[in-house]
Structure 1
Amino acid sequence: MAQPINRRTFLQSTAAAATVAGLPRHALATSPFAMQASWINDAEFAGYFLAIDKGYYDQERLNLTYLSGGPDVIPESTIIAGRADLALTTPDTTIRAISQQGAKFKIIGAQYQKNPIGVVSLKKNPISAPSDLVGKTIAVPPVNTVTVEALLNLNGIDRNAVNIVPYAYDPTPLVRGEIDASLDFTTNVPYTISQMGEEAHSFLLFDYGVTLFNDTVVVTEETLASKRAELVAWLRASRKGWDENLADPTAYPPQWEGSWFKGTGRTIENEIFFNKAQKDLIVSPNGVYSMSETAIEQNLEALKAIGINGTRDMFDTTLLEEI
C-alpha cells in the first residue's frame, strides 16, 4: 500500500531538486568573502553598493560581507588579522608596509587610476599649481605631510617657502580666510564649500608628479594563493557594479538614502556630486581596476620621491587578465 505523502517533506525535496536543476547559479554555492573599505559609506564605494544590491556577487557565488572603514580603521590590519580577504588601501601605506615591515601583501588592482587628493582653494583666491603655494598657508592632514613635501620637491619648491599647518578635514578655516588652501578629496570637499557660500578651485597632486593610485585592492599572499578564483570573481562583480554606476552617476545615490547612506550626515546631492566627480578618475580604457605597466612605474617613482622604495613584484596584474 502506498505511503501517504508528508507535505513538508515533499516541498523540501521539490525545493532541493529545483535548486540543483533550475535555479540561478548563485543559489548553488556561496563562498564566504569579506572586503574592507577604506572609509565610511559614501559615493567612493558606490560601485560595491550597486553590485551588492543587484546581486552581482551572488551571481559569482560569493557571500560578500562589506566592512565599512573610517578614521580609526587601518585596512591592512584587517586582512592581516583575517577579518577580511581583501582591503582597499592607499599605495603608500601598503608598499611601505611591504618594503619596511616585511608585510606579505600584493596589490591586485586600483579603483582610482588617478588619486582624488588635491590642493583645494577658493576661486576668488585660487591656488592653481604648486608654484602658487609659495608664501601661502596650506592645511594638511599630518599623515599626508610627507606627500605634500614630495609635491614641493618634485616641482622645485623650497619646503620652507610654504607654511604647512594641520588639517582636520574641515574646510571652515579655508572659507573664513584663515588658510589659503587645504589638502583633501577634490571629488567631495568642493561641494561642502559651495554649501558654505563659496566656490572652490582645485588641482590634483597626480597632475604635478605625485602619480599615485588610490583605493588599491590589496590581499595577503596567502589569500592570493588560496582564494584566487574568489578574488577574480570579486573583481568581475565589482567591475560590473562600477560600470553600471558610472554609466549614469546621478541614478543610484538617491536609491541609497535610507540604506547605504543613512546616518552619514551628508546629503544625496553631495553624493551625486561626488559620484560624478570621481568618474574620470576611475574609468580606464582597459577596464576598472586596470594597472598598466606605465602607471605602475609612475607609482613607484612617486613613492620613491617620498622615501618609499617599492618594486614591480609588489603588484600582481594577472588576476585582471582573468576577468
Structure 2
Amino acid sequence: MVRRTLAVAWWGIATLALPMRAESTQLVMQLDLGVQNVQFAGVLWAQSEGWFSDAGIDLEIRPLPDGYGDLAAKVAASEHTIGSIESGLFLTGRAAGEPLVAIGAMFQASPLCLVAKSHHHLRTPADLVGLRVAVHGDGHEALATILAYSGVDASKVEIGEADYGNGPLLRDEVDAKQAYYVDEYVHMLTAGHAVDALRYKDFGHKAYSQVMFVSEATLAAHRAALVKFLQVLDRGWRAAVAAPEVAAKLVVTRYAPALDLTYQTESLKLMSELLWAEDERTGATSPVTWQANAASFLATHPESSLPPMERWVDFSLIEEAFARAAP
C-alpha cells in the first residue's frame, strides 16, 4: 500500500499522458542478466503496478537463461522482443549485419568499472600498470578506451578473461576485475570488503548501458506499442528512484529473493546519476554519444564497419513519447 501511494503521489505531479487501453500488444523484454535485480527496477515496478497492462501492453520480462546464445541475434530474429544489452554488444551485432535498431538506453552513462582491493590504491588507469586485470568478453573495448585516453601502454597491463563472480578478486587470483559500480562494487562494499572502484566514465569511456533495442521487424509492426512502453518506462523509473527502499524491497521480495536487500537498496540509490546523465527524459540517447561510442568500437574492431546511424538508432520514439507530456 505504501508503494502504490508513493507512486500515485509522484504520478499526480508529473506524468506522460497515456491513451486509454485498446487491444493488447504482446511484447517480451529480454534482459541480459539471469536475475531480475534493481538494474531493472523501473520496469519491474511498472509491471507490478499493472501500468504496462493499462497502456495496452502484455509485457513478459525474461531473465537471461543459461546457454541462451547470441542475444543480439535472437532479438534480431524476433518480431516482438525488446532486448537489453551493452552498447558494445549491440554495435557488434549491427556490424555483423543483424537488422537491429536501438530505441533508447536505460543508463545514459556507463556503470562499468574496475574493482580492486584497497591496498592497490587504484585511482587512475595508470595504476593498472603491472596488475592482473580480468575483464568479461565484452569488456576489452572499454578497457582499451580508458587506457588510450590516459596514455597507458596496454602491454604493461596483464589482461585476462573473467566470469561474472567476485570470487577471483576476493581470492587474489586477479588484482582488478571488471564490474558495475552500481552492482558488484556495491555488493562487495556492503559485504564488508575494502575495495575501490575505477569508473570508466571518468576516463573517456562514453557509452550507453542497458541499451533497449528491437529488430527492424518489431519496430515496423509495433511502433505505437514501443512508444507506450517508453512512456511507462519513464513512469516506473521515476517512481522507483523516488522510493529506493520500497522499490528494492519489491525487487527482492517478488523477483529475486536470493539477493541481499541492503545491497539492492544501495545499488538503486546510485542509479539516478546514470539514468539521467545526459537528458532528463528516461531512455533518451544522443547522436554525439553514439558517434563517440561507434568510433571507439571501430577503433578496436578495425575489420568491422557500421552503416549510417539512422539505420541503427531511432531517436523519434523517445521524441514522440515525451511530446505527450501532460501540462
TM-score, with structure 1 as normaliser: 0.84
What's 1:36 paired with?
30
Q: CA deviation at 1:309?
A: 4.1
Matches within 5 A, 1:288-307: 288-307=282-301
**Structure 1 pair 208–222 and aligned structure 2 pair: CA distance change class (3 A):** same
**Structure 1 pair 319–289 and aligned structure 2 pair: CA distance change class (3 A):** same
**Structure 1 pair 156–253 and aligned structure 2 pair: CA distance change class (3 A):** same
* Larger displacement relative to structure 2 (103-112 or 296-305): 296-305
Q: Point out which structure has higher relative CO (alpha carbons under 8 A, 6+ apart).
A: 2
SS at match of 1:184: strand
Q: CA deviation at 1:207?
A: 2.1
**Structure 1 pair 146–296 and aligned structure 2 pair: CA distance change class (3 A):** closer
User: What is the CA deviation profile of residues 186-233 of structure 1, one whole-angstrom value per residue up to 9, with x for unaligned ones?
Assistant: 111123323553222112212212211011111111211221101101
Q: Distance in 2 between matches of 1:140 and 1:85?
A: 28
Q: CA deviation at 1:268?
A: 1.2
Q: Which ranges of structure 1 fall in alignment gaps of 5 or more residues? A: 1-23
What's 1:61 paired with?
56
**Structure 1 pair 222–294 and aligned structure 2 pair: CA distance change class (3 A):** same
Q: Does the 8 A contact of 1:232 with 1:320 survive in 2?
A: yes
Q: What CA RMSD, in Å, does the superposition of the two structures yield over aligned residues?
A: 2.1
**Structure 1 pair 259–322 and aligned structure 2 pair: CA distance change class (3 A):** same
Q: CA deviation at 1:237?
A: 0.8
What's 2:4 paired with?
none
Q: Counterpart of 1:43 in structure 2: which amino acid? A: V
**Structure 1 pair 214–70 and aligned structure 2 pair: CA distance change class (3 A):** farther
What's 1:216 paired with?
211
What's 1:14 paired with?
none
What's 2:252 paired with?
257
- 1:52 lines up with 2:50 in the alignment: no
Q: 2:176 aligns with which of 168, 175, 181?
A: 181
- 1:270 lines up with 2:263 in the alignment: yes
Q: CA deviation at 1:31?
A: 1.6
Q: Does the 8 A contact of 2:89 with 2:138 survive in 1?
A: no
What's 2:93 paired with?
97
Q: CA deviation at 1:120?
A: 1.1
SS at match of 2:267: helix
User: What is the CA deviation profile of residues 48-81 of structure 1, one whole-angstrom value per residue up to 9, with x for unaligned ones?
Assistant: 1101011111121111111112553343233233
User: What is the CA deviation profile of residues 95-120 of structure 1, one whole-angstrom value per residue up to 9, with x for unaligned ones?
Assistant: 22222x21111111011111111111
Q: 2:76 aligns with which of 68, 80, 83?
A: 80
Q: Does the 8 A contact of 1:175 with 1:196 survive in 2?
A: no
User: What is the CA deviation profile of residues 131-153 of structure 1, one whole-angstrom value per residue up to 9, with x for unaligned ones?
Assistant: 11111121222342343233323
What's 2:316 paired with?
318
Q: Does the 8 A contact of 2:79 with 2:215 survive in 1?
A: no
Question: Could you list the runs of 4 or more consecutive aligned residues of structure 1 that deviate by over 4 angstroms after TM superposition?
Answer: none
What's 2:106 paired with?
111
Q: Distance in 2 between matches of 1:56 and 1:85?
A: 18
SS at match of 2:253: coil
What's 1:3 paired with?
none
Q: Counterpart of 2:179 in structure 1: which amino acid? A: D
Name the larger-Rg structure: 1
Alignment length (residue pairs):
296
Q: Counterpart of 1:257 in structure 2: which amino acid? A: V
SS at match of 2:316: coil
Q: CA deviation at 1:84?
A: 4.1
User: What is the CA deviation profile of residues 20-49 of structure 1, one whole-angstrom value per residue up to 9, with x for unaligned ones?
Assistant: xxxx943x4312122111112111111111
Q: Which ranges of structure 2 fall in alignment gaps of 5 or more residues? A: 1-18, 322-327
Q: Does the 8 A contact of 1:239 with 1:288 survive in 2?
A: yes
Q: CA deviation at 1:127?
A: 1.0
Matches within 5 A, 1:125-140: 125-140=120-135
Q: Distance in 1 between matches of 2:318 and 2:235?
A: 13
Q: CA deviation at 1:181?
A: 1.2
- 1:280 lines up with 2:278 in the alignment: no
TM-score, with structure 2 as normaliser: 0.83
Q: CA deviation at 1:176?
A: 4.0
Identity of aligned residues (%): 21
Q: Distance in 1 between matches of 2:173 and 2:32?
A: 30
Q: Does the 8 A contact of 1:116 with 1:281 survive in 2?
A: yes
Q: Distance in 2 between matches of 1:57 and 1:197?
A: 38
